[in-house]
Structure 1
Amino acid sequence: MSRILLVEDEVVIRMELRRLLARHGHDVVEAGSIAEAEAAHDLRAFDLVLADVRLPGAPGTELVGRCGGAPVVLMTSYATVKAAVDAVKRGAADYLSKPFDHAELVALVDHHLAGARSAQGTPAESAPRPPSPASVPPSPASTPPAPDDEELEGMIGGSAAMREVFARVRKVAPSEATLLVLGESGTGKETLARAVHRLSPRRQCPFVRVHCAAIPEGLIEGELFGHERGAFPGALSARPGLCEAAEGGTLLLDEIAELPARVQARLLRFLQTGEVRRVGAAQARRLDMRLVAATQRDLVAMVRQGSFLSDLYFRLRVLEIRLPPLRERPGDSVRIAESLLTRRARTTGQRPLALSPEARAAIAAAPWPGNVRDLENAVHRAMVLAEGREIGVGLLGLDDAAQPAPPPAAHESEPRSDSLEGYFRRFVLEHQNELTETEIARRLGISRKALWERRQRLGIPRPR
């Protein structure tokens, strides 16, 4: 059993992450700040440290270099990505951008625990590298056994459609041209973008992912391009943007269709000139980085409607890769499920669980409306609930896989969410008619300002 230190000041998030990691067989020790963790524990006594960047007192980045040989994984919001990237350059193992899926966090933790064991000479082998920034190509020992044409940098697929995608990735990776990745939600657009980065000459430099839909419209221009001191009220010092954080590496603009028109225009200017100008700056700066854009929206239709700049669209699609949904990839759903089981076994050092014939047939036949992400959640749930060495079809929850989870009953002690954002949404909708905003924020362990910001980001208006 691995011992993990979790440092997170928001009580609800900390509770949810502790339960998640405990369900996956880890011994979790909690703290709300670095000072609290140091007062109660020896920071060098843990196998892995998972910490938020923004903490009371010292930031989570201060843990780098203070935890012995334990890998330090940072959790960051859009506003602290630059700090996390800098921490990775100084020795942090990785960072994870909020909001994130539970399956993504579990895979990241498993990977770094396996890597730490391997470095110490223990038998466990490294798990395949999940998507992460500032990464380099994994060694051959870090991937599960799979034919070369069925696995590529964490992507699994033996269908004709995915073999074509793999060939395309290998071909475009060495290029410096802008890449547009298209596909439904959950198809693995971010994973593909990271694969392109790891196979490119820029692999030793940062990979920075920006979730365009998660940043409030009024802040995204400054977050992307940075600002000078005094550029607007509250700008007390100059701050580089996320474009500058990706210097030398790759910048992924996820859900680029959500960018406001003025930011689209500034991005177009960068693609035309290779220069960015911070908000309030007189001079532009030349940047050397590769841009990858991803979206599930129909950009051609948006161009026709006038909601997306046509010049920007044509600049983005110099190279284009379209990811097929899982329902159009015969055989791949079972391959992915078995790869997840193998990965988990390598991390824990145990014999892998097996899918029953009925479970294999059900996985192959299921429509998976949420694509690979949907499948991963179902398999991870089944692994946690399995009592023997075989996963039966009943553990996959396929009957309600396409249905949204119902809100938790008042007597339930544990949230039934697939993500922290899902838990937040259900909690707020359930209690907003009976509690004040101050009381909701207090119960969630966040400030009223943070509550307001999440309402805006998730589209949950206050009742009138």
Structure 2
Amino acid sequence: MSQILIVEDEVIIRTALRKLLERNRYQVSEAGSVKEAINKYTLTNFSLIISDLRLPGAPGTDLIKLAGEVPVLIMTSYASLRSAVDSMRMGAVDYIAKPFDHDEMVAAVKRVIGKANAAKNKRQSKTSSHAISGMIGSSTVMQELYNRIHKVAPTQATVLVHGETGTGKELVARAIHEESPRADKPLISVNCAAIPETLIESELFGHEKGAFTGAASTREGLVAAADGGSLFLDEIGELPLEAQARLLRVLQEGEVRPIGSVESHKVNVRLIAATHRDLRKLCQDGQFREDLFYRINVVQLTLPPLRERGKDIIALAEALLERYCEQLGKPLLGLSPEAVQAVTTYTWPGNVREMENAIQRAVILCEDDAEISHELLSIDLDLVKVDIDITDSDPYAAARGGNIPVYNGSEPNEDLSLEDYFQRFVLEHQDSMSETELARKLGVSRKCLWERRQRLGIPRKKATVTAVK
């Protein structure tokens, strides 16, 4: 059972989290401050530490260094965006905005602990995982990819690289080639989707003079040009069936026969293929030869989409920013906190290629000497959106209807949601705290607190003033 430490000075929120996590079969310990946490517990014994950003005494980010390799999940408010970004740069594994719901918190905890366990297993196995030249990222999924590249590269095995468009499949092919015994020989790259179907066979396998209309001279194909080296066929799923049959002969017999020729020539080529399509499905639909699929699917490498690479996203964005600033002769720019939020929140359907275009465009258009704003990235996001809809309905209807639970000072009922705890805390403390103090204690902005009051029907009691005559 995974052990989690909650560091939160508000008893209501801390108890809510403990009960939530215990219902999901986690073993939970509590502390009200960083000092109490380090005095009471050995931090390295936990699987995860969940800490509020603002705590009495030292901030929650101090736990990042103290916890060593134990991941720290920081809780913060939408109003503390810059602090949240800074905590990520200091090493926090992730941050979650308050107020949050149960499903959001449980999903974040499962994700963080799962990744931490996988990383720990990798370290214990002592498998080499040094980075690949030209590839940026230290996330667990990328470490696993690096490991597999190091293992397969020195062999002669055919490799099938699978990944969405724009994830960098050609970089993987180049890394395999450069770490192989064929590194001093050519790497020929071919995008099968970019060559017309009528020309693909001629391009790959060559042709004799007069083999077809327009064949004015004998031409060596790209397969023969890769002799002794590696042949990278990108988007192999787009290869016509006739060309697939010729490629199968190259792999099985190690020979190529140009179009119009009666003689075959021996070739020694290592094939690296890539696709974003499901080749098994293509085989079932009769669009891809099953025998060729089994021939090329010796070792399969999967490139993760950018949205699944965690903190690699920021590292990649900053590396691209540095590259394009240098290329375009501009001062080294940074990403504004809003831009960081946009980069990490956007799903990047075009993956690394889309990010490259967005960063390059932003650097070209940027007129600031220090930061790039999120508007220049053209990412359409409401960066400080709260999950509450403000309507024109009567904000005090719920209060008049008597639907607000009354906080009696006892330990919160475990069936209540975090929103219920929010209500109870406000009702208990609003007479003794200012709006600024309430917002700070709850970890939200004053605007967010005001919106919650409207949504939940909790009117602000104004102090009575006695007129002096």
SS of residue in 1 equivalent to 2:271 = strand
Preserved contact between residue 227 and residue 280 of structure 1 (Cα < 8 Å):
yes
Aligned counterpart, 1:410: none
Query: Which residue does 1:383 correspond to in 2?
Result: 363
2:437 maps to what in 1? Answer: none
| TM-score of the two chains, using structure 1 as the length reference | 0.52
Structure 1 residues 149 and 340, CA, compared in 2 at 3 Å: closer, same or farther?
farther
Task: Please list, as runs of the form range in 1=range in 2, the aligned pairs for 1:272-283 lying within 5 A after superposition.
Answer: 272-283=252-263
Partner of 2:374: 393
* Stretches (4+) displaced over 6 A: none
Alignment of 1:240 onto 2:259? no
> What's the CA shift for 1:149?
5.7
Letter in structure 1 aligned against 2:281: A
SS in 2 for 1:152: coil
Q: 2:327, 2:354 → 1: CA distance? A: 22
**CA offsets 1:292-317 (integer angstroms, 9 cap, x no match):** 11111100111111211111001101
Task: Return closer, same or farther for 1:349/1:214 CA change in 2, 3 Å cut-off.
Answer: closer
Partner of 1:334: 314
The aligned residue for residue 374 of structure 1 is 354
The offset of 1:184, in angstroms, is 0.7
The 5-angstrom pairing of residues 247-286 of structure 1 reads 247-286=227-266
In structure 1, what is the Cα distance between the partners aligned to 2:357 and 2:340? 16
Contact 2:207/2:258, CA 8 A, preserved across alignment: yes
Please tell me whether residue 156 in structure 1 is matched to residue 139 in structure 2: no
Q: Tell me if the contact between 2:205 and 2:257 (Cα under 8 Å) persists in the aligned partners.
A: yes
Aligned to 1:189: 169
Q: Which amino acid aligns with 1:183?
A: G
**2-structure distance, mates of 1:171, 1:274:** 24
* AA partner of residue 240 (structure 1): E
Deviation, 1:343, is: 2.5
Q: Does 1:311 align with 2:291?
A: yes
Displacement of 1:354: 0.8
C-alpha contact 1:255 1:294 (8 A) present in aligned 2: yes
Deviation larger for 151-160 or 173-182: 151-160
Deviation at 1:351, TM superposition (A): 4.5
Identity %: 53
1:212 & 1:348 partners in 2: Cα distance? 32
How far has the Cα of 1:180 moved from its partner? 0.4
Counterpart CA distance in 2 for 1:349 and 1:386 is: 12
After superposition, give the CA deviation of every residue in 1:128-174 in whole Å (9 maximum; x if it has no partner). Answer: xxxxxxxxxxxxxxxxxxxx967422111121111111111111111
Aligned to 1:156, what secondary structure does the other structure show? coil
SS in 2 for 1:398: coil
Query: How many angstroms does 1:345 deviate by?
Result: 4.6
CA–CA distance in structure 2, aligned partners of residues 395 and 235 of structure 1: 49
Q: Give the match for residue 217 of structure 1.
A: 197
CA deviation string 1:264-322 (max 9, x = no partner) = 11111111011000111111111112111111110011111121111100110111101
CA contact (8 A) 2:188 2:231 kept: yes
Maintained 8 Å contact 2:338/2:374 = yes
Q: Secondary structure at the residue paired with 1:253?
A: strand
Q: Tell me by how many angstroms 1:236 deviates.
A: 2.2
Instruction: Please state whether the residue corresponding to 2:177 is helix, strand or coil.
Output: helix
The structural deviation recorded for 1:177 is: 1.1
In 2: Cα distance, 1:158 partner to 1:396 partner: 24
- One of 298, 301, 319 as aligned partner of 2:281: 301
Give the 3 Å change call, closer, same or farther, for CA 384–349 of structure 1 in structure 2.
closer
Distance 1:389 1:151, change over 3 A: farther
Give the drift of 1:248.
1.8
Say which SS state the counterpart of residue 252 (structure 1) adopts: strand
Alignment of 1:403-422 (within 5 A): none
Mean Cα deviation higher: 375-384 or 194-203: 194-203
2:145 corresponds to: 165
- Partner of residue 41, structure 2: none
Cα distance in 2 for residues equivalent to 1:172 and 1:256:
20
TM-score, normalised to structure 2's length? 0.52
Q: Provide the rounded CA distance (Å) in 2 between the counterparts of 1:384 and 1:348.
A: 8
SS for the counterpart of 1:291 is strand
Distance 1:348 1:220 in 2: 37
Q: Which residue of 2 aligns with 1:361?
A: 341
Distance 2:181 2:333 in 1: 38
Which residue pairs with 1:227 in the alignment? Answer: 207
Q: Could you list the runs of 5+ residues in structure 1 that have no partner in the other structure?
A: 1-147, 401-464
Cα distance change, pair 314–394 in 1 and its aligned pair in 2 (3 A) = same
Residues 280 and 208 (structure 1), Cα distance of their counterparts in 2 relative to 1, 3 Å cut: same
Aligned mates of 1:216, 1:348 — CA distance in 2:
35
Q: Secondary structure at the match of 2:189?
A: strand
The letter for the 2-side match of 1:318 is V
Q: Equivalents in 2 of 1:191, 1:399: separation in Å? A: 29
Whether the 8 Å contact between 2:129 and 2:144 is mirrored in structure 1 is no
Deviation at 1:328, TM superposition (A): 1.2
